[in-house]
Every structure is written in structure tokens, then in C-alpha cells.
A and B are shown apart, each in its own frame.
Chain A
Amino acid sequence: MTERSGDARPQRPAPAPLRPPSAAASAARARRWGTWYVAEHKLRGMRGYLGVIIAYSIGSPLMYLFAMGVGLASLVDSTSGARAFGGVTYLQFIVPALLVSTAVMAASEEFSYPVMSGFKWRRTYYGPLASPISPQQICQGHALAVAVRLLAQSVAYQAIVIAFGATGTRGWASPLVAVLAGLAFGLPMMAYAASIREDRGQFALVQRFVVVPLFLFSGTFFPLSTLPWFLQWIGWASPVWHATELGRVLGYGHVEPAWLSGLHLAYLLLLAGAGLLAARRTYARRLEA
């Protein structure tokens, strides 16, 4: 009989069983980094619909820019001249507005159905809930991932409009304002979405009767002051208007008193902060029932 080759070989030692760090260490890491872990998860999920995100958040505003800023602008600039828009071309006027509006619309998507899905349809919040992650971290992680998305799309938009000379490079900080606008609208929306138990078309209503009016009446395509006074309140209440005005200050040096810029910023921060607090509470109540 021939000797089987395997018998001659020295035995490989069994691999040491894989042991994770201690439970206490796990919990400590989760307490500290949990929000980031949730965001990491959500961002990975977004990769699955990256194409849609790009089309929706970069392609779509560029299309508007082209139609309005090039097509409509030739009409507007020749008739009313640059005076109506504070001494800049119509294209320059709407570049910051579309940046902000697009971020707010993307936020209105990311903080509506995906929230419902986390609680109800796909129950994706209940996975991390069984781990050391807290409901508040689940809320914050979702928000953080959306903020990252908003920042990425806003930076890409800004880079493109700069590259095409539609605005100067001085507006580099505008993407941050757009992210803030997205959160100022989106976090209160998130708190509302988390409170919905049954989908009866509420999100479609919000889309039609809140998001679209904000888009149209927030000084996006024409200065708020050209609206009749009884419609101007929409702008004052609208994070889109406050952020767009800030974007104009940053983008082409639109002149307004410093206190007004401060007010824009404070209003956006207030909405975002209050929204986050409300959302955290709603998540905790619902997930820990």
C-alpha cells in the first residue's frame, strides 16, 4: 500500500476561535460611535440608488439652470435689465436658489418614505435597535447620512456651476448653507414622518402643498419683494428663502444688513435643532414602546 501523502504532512493547528472584544467594550464603542455606524449603514444602502440620486440632485437642477438661466434669462435680462436682480444676471440670481431648493427637495424625500420604511415597511430600524445602538442614535444616524448626501450633491453642483462660469469661486461655502437648509426643512419633516402609523398619502400632500409652494414662493425665481405682501409670509417662514438669501450673500455679494444674515442663519439653526429634538423623541417613544 502506498502511503497517503496527507498523513506525512504536519497537522496544521486549528485556528483560534474568533472572539470579539468584550461586551463592555462593544457597548462603549456603540455609545460613542453609534450615530456614525447607523449613517455608514444608510450610506451603503444609498449606493444602491446612486444613479437616481445623481440624476435627481445634480441633473435636475442643471436642467432648470439651463432652461431658466440660459433660455428665460435672455428674455428677463434684456427686458428688466440687471437692476431687478440686484445688479447681477438672472443666471447668477438663480444659481444659489436652485442649490438650496434641490437640497430641500432631496431632504423631503429622504426624510419621508425612508423613515416610514424604517419603522414599518422594511423595519430596518429594528435591526440596529436589537444591537447596542439607541433609538436616538438611529434617528441621528439617518439624519447624518442624509446630511452627507446633501453635502456631496451640493458640492458637485457647486463645482459644476463654477466650472461653467455660472458663478464665481467665492461661493465655496454655499453647499454648507444648502445642507443646513435641507436639515432645517428635513428634520421637522422627519419628526412628522416618524409619527405616522398609516400611510394615507400624507407625504404626497406635503410634497404638493408644502415643498412645491416653498420652491415657488421663496424668492427662488424672482425676489420675494415682487410678491404681493399677503404671500410674502411664505418666504419669511421658509427655510428655502432664508438659505437662498444667505447663498446669494455668499455667492455674489448680494447686499443685506449683517443682522439679517445672522437672522437667516439663526432661523435655519433653530428649525434644524428643534426638528432634531422632536425627531429623537418621536423615535425613542415609538421604538421603545
Chain B
Amino acid sequence: MPNSSGYRAVVSARNLTKRFGDFTAVDGISFEIPAGESFGLLGPNGAGKSTIMRMLGGVSRRTSGELEVMGLDPERQGPEVRAHLGVVPQQDNLDEELRVRDNLIIYGRYFGLPMSYLRPKSAELLEFAQLGDKAGARIGELSGGMKRRLTIARSLINDPGILLLDEPTTGLDPQARHVLWDRLFRLKERGTTLVLTTHYMDEAEQLCDRLIVVDRGRIMAGGSPAELIRAHSSREVLELRFGAGRNASAAGALAGLGERIEVLPDRILVYADDGEAVLGQAVARGLEPATSLVRRSSLEDVFLRLTGRSLID
């Protein structure tokens, strides 16, 4: 549906709310996603990300608010909405009784797709997921990363316009994550709209054009990763470690340096536009950190600033 600024939103949520009993998991969330965008929901465990994703697919009933996906109401026109979607759930649910290729083909049948389409399409998708040589393998023989790639291949069987990815790389090793990110980049280049949830700030920075930071079912902030960092953090961060028990007293001595100081259990973060300069000032005050590191601000810092907590506990 075209909105005031003229673009076509493929997803639009207004005051989306979900309660389980008297617990509010999603608390009045509003956002719009234009076609072709890569949109992220960044937040810690329990923030309500998966619940939002399930409402998008019409497999969880909203308590109140409005929701449109491809101009349709997912609750009333679930099959029509889901025919547009590819879904990569948080937990893999591949069928272990079927071989790798059959997982794609059988899944494709659910979209009413004919075998004449599914046979070549499954081969194409297995190549895309770098599983071409595993077509006849059992699911149990695949590594975690391969299963995740197969789940992504499966979600693409109907050539969806919108791909919902719920924590696509949680639990994978760094190598496997990079392979997966690369595949998602390619989809994005082809114009697929990506909606992904994550509690990894590096993933959000890598993949998302725009994101909302969600905590306890509410939107804390929204924008592109760069905008969020600019709005909610300094350019650089100085990380200082003084060793067990000495952080608190060191923090006192650092008072007034940089724009803001966060004392974490294991380290002190000093937010400043020039980290090196602040480090020089700290040393001039006679402080001797065990280690020091200057880095650019990240979404983790944004989250810490907005909620006072870190993303991963």
C-alpha cells in the first residue's frame, strides 16, 4: 500500500500488541518495511522478536493493533500471505525422516507447486546453499551451519518476495555465520525483502539497511545502523580494564573524561569522539589500565545506552 512518502510498504504494523494471559510480549509496536529493504529487529532474548515474526506470518493471533503484509491481513488471509513469504524459524524443523532434497520438494508441495518446477528448483537452491553434493544425504549427517543453509534453501522454494529470518545464525560458529551472511547478501542484491531478528549487533550492522531496537516488547529506537550510532553513541569508545575489583575506583578517577562512562563488571567504557585523546588524558591522571582498546561505537553501545543492559547476558 503506497503511503504518504510514496513508497510501497510490503509490511506495515501499527500498535501491534500481543498478550499471553496478562503478560504483554509485544507492546504497541509500529513500523513499515518498503519492498527490497533489509529490515532488522534487534533485541535481547525475550524481547518479543519471534512473536512479531509469527504474527507477520499469521500463525500467532495479535491481541490488538493493525498489521498488513503485502496489503493483506495475515490473520484473515493467512494462506495468501504465507504464499508470499519464506520463513526461516528460530529452531530448525527439517524433516529428519526425509533426505536433503526431499525436504525441499515436499515443502514445495505445500505451496501447490508441481514436480516439473520443484525438481529443477530444488537443484538450483541446493547449489545456492552450497549443498549440491548433499542432495541425497540424511539430515542427521549435516552440520549446524548446513542445516541452517538448508532451511534457508527450503524457505526460498516458492521464490518469496519477503524472507523472514528468525535469528538465522544463532548457535553457529563464526565461519558458518560468514557463509550464511554471504548468501543473505546475494538475496538482498536480487531484491528480496529481508526481515530478520537477531541479538547479534554485528549481524544487524552487516545485514540491515534499517532496524528497530526492541526491548520488553517496545521499540527503543529505530533507523539505519549508522543513524542509530550517531544518535545514541559517540564516534569512538575507549575500553579500559583494570582487573578484578579495581574498576569501580578507577571509574571515579575517570570522572569527567569523554561524553559518558559505563562501568561494566569486567571493564569500563568511555564514550568519546577521540578515544586515543581520552586514553592520553587518563594516563596523564596517573591511571594504569591493564589493557586498553579504542574502537568505533557499535549497536551494542546503542543498546547499552538505551536500556542500561547488554544484548547478550
Which residues of A come within 8 Å of B, CB atoms? 18-21, 23-31, 33-34, 37-38, 40-41, 44-45, 48, 122-124, 126-134, 287-289
Contact = CB atoms under 8 A, between A and B. Distances in A.
A26 B107 contact: no
A37 B79 CA distance: 14
Contacts of B106: 40-41, 44
Interface stretch (B93-101, B194-202, B268-276, B295-303): B93-101
Q: Which of B61, B91, B107, B154 has the most CB of A within 10 A?
A: B107
A124 B159 contact: no
The 7 closest A-B pairs by CB, nearest first: A29-B112, A132-B79, A131-B110, A130-B87, A23-B83, A26-B83, A45-B97
B84 A124 contact: no
B93 A122 contact: yes
Given A24-B83, A31-B79, A123 B91 contact: yes
A24 B111 CA distance: 10
Contacts of B60: 288-289
22 contacts: A18-B121, A19-B159, A20-B111, A20-B159, A23-B83, A24-B80, A26-B111, A26-B112, A27-B80, A31-B79, A34-B79, A37-B112, A45-B95, A45-B97, A48-B97, A126-B91, A127-B94, A129-B59, A132-B78, A288-B59, A288-B61, A289-B20
Q: Which of A33, A34, A288 has the most CB of B within 10 A?
A: A288
Contacts of A41: 95, 106, 109-110
Interface of B: 20, 57, 59-61, 70, 77-80, 82-85, 87, 89, 91, 93-98, 102, 106-107, 109-113, 117, 120-121, 124, 154-155, 158-159, 161
Contact of A30 (B83, B85, B89, B96): B83
A62 to B, nearest CB: 27
Contact of A44 (B98, B111, B120, B124): B98
B110 A30 contact: yes
A132 B82 contact: yes
Main secondary structure of the interface of B (DSSP, over half): loop
A130 B111 contact: no
Contacts of A40: 106, 109
A127 B78 contact: no
A74 B236 CA distance: 94
Contact of B80 (A131, A132, A133): A132
A289 B25 CA distance: 12
Contacts of A48: 97
A247 to B, nearest CB: 33
Given A30-B83, A126-B93, A130-B57, A21 B78 contact: no
